Amino acid sequence: MHSTQHHVTPGRSDRVFNSVVRWLADRGVNLAGAQTLTIVGRKSGTPQSIPVNPIAFDGREYLVAVRGNTQWVRNARAAGTAHLRRGRNDRTVKLAEVDVADRGPIIRAYLERWGWEVGRFLPDGMTTDPSDEQLHTHAASIPVFAVGRATTG
């Protein structure tokens, strides 16, 4: 069984790429579906922003963390809400972690769309065209969040 603590820290080139994608998304440029996720840091209390690629699957929207147990994942678990933004379209969303048993088809759909971009961040032994066995083996190490409408109150 693989650890659920899979985490690939962004290197310098990743941070530069992410800042460019975030800058473009913040200005409304649709770069392969990228949006900016802004979530309050669980320790710092300050907003943290990162580009993400939401995936539509079976009528719902999801965020998939192929890098594993990243800062935004830990912050999402703590906060439960965040902002997704592309240009002027800024929405407050609720983030609910998907059960490990239900992640496989969502991860597969995500990799079909963005495997070319994110394949190098996958856990060891997993490919961008994963078998059912690979999905079962690695699903616990790839967090997935359902994106929902935040309630106002």
Sign (positive or negative) of CA dihedral 139, 84, 29, 70 = negative
> Structure pTM?
0.80
What is the mean pLDDT for each group of 10 consecutive residues in the chain (153 residues)? 55 61 57 81 92 94 94 95 88 96 96 88 90 94 95 61
Q: Strand 60-64 vs strand 81-86: parallel, antiparallel, or unpaired?
A: unpaired
Output Rg (C-alpha) for the chain, integer angstroms: 15
End-to-end CA distance of the chain: 42
How many residues appear in the chain? Answer: 153
**Greatest Cα-to-Cα distance within the chain, rounded to the nearest angstrom:** 45
Locate 36 and state its tokens: 């900016």
Compute CA distances 148 → 14, 35, 82, 94, whole Å. 28, 15, 10, 5
